[in-house]
Amino acid sequence: MSEEYPARPVSASQSERSEIIFPGDTNPLGNLFGGRLMQFIDLVAAMSATRHARGIPVTVSMDHIDFVAPVKLGDILILKASVNRAFNTSMEIGVKAMVEDVREQTYRHVASAYLTFVALDHTGKRLTVPHIIPETEHQKRRFEDAGNRREMRSGEVARKKENRATLTPEWHI
């Protein structure tokens, strides 16, 4: 890595966001809308990507999300994000969402997601992003897993591109 783009530790880009869930965020059962949770996830991931790349982050994909448990009206939602791995111009960000029970002082896991971002400059040109330095065993595992997911994504992108080339002009879902 060049002097211009020194590698950075995972801790330098970690981000956290908290939300209280209001009626406008929920469905008739009082559960947080999945799309709203995805928006919160995208925002906290973008903060982490911005800190790491020091550029304008653009979401390329949210290729995996697990909705583990419902988030209820009035819950305090806490989202934590960090860069799992940085490649040339892209980064994988991992996000974990928890609900805090303030009375019991406990946390309940409600969702996890992986997102890919690229960093752009103010003209829209892709930026080279610094590599990441995983420091803990947990960060090292996430770093390795991110490389495996990238390989799977690359194969999936190629397959989809090939399928699009063979589609007829009518709509296919």
Kindly report, residue by residue over 117-171, the tens digit of the pLDDT: 999 999 999 999 999 999 999 999 999 999 999 888 877 777 777 777 776 666 5
Residue 138, in any domain of the structure: yes
Give the residue with greater pLDDT, 155 vs 40. 40
Backbone angles phi, psi at 135, to 5 degrees: -105, -35
Work out the average pLDDT over 28-48.
97
Residue 148, in any domain of the structure: yes
Residue 172, in any domain of the structure: no
Q: Domain of 145?
A: 8-166
Residue 142's nearest CA partner among 93, 76, 87 is: 93
Contact 85, 91 (CB under 8 A): yes
156: region left, alpha or beta (phi > 0 left; psi from -120 to 50 alpha): alpha
pLDDT of 171 reads: 59
Percent of the residues in the chain that have a pLDDT greater than 70, as a whole number: 94
How many separate domains does the chain show?
Answer: 1
pLDDT of 2 reads: 42
Assign residue 28 the CATH number of its domain: 3.10.129.10
Residue 162, in any domain of the structure: yes
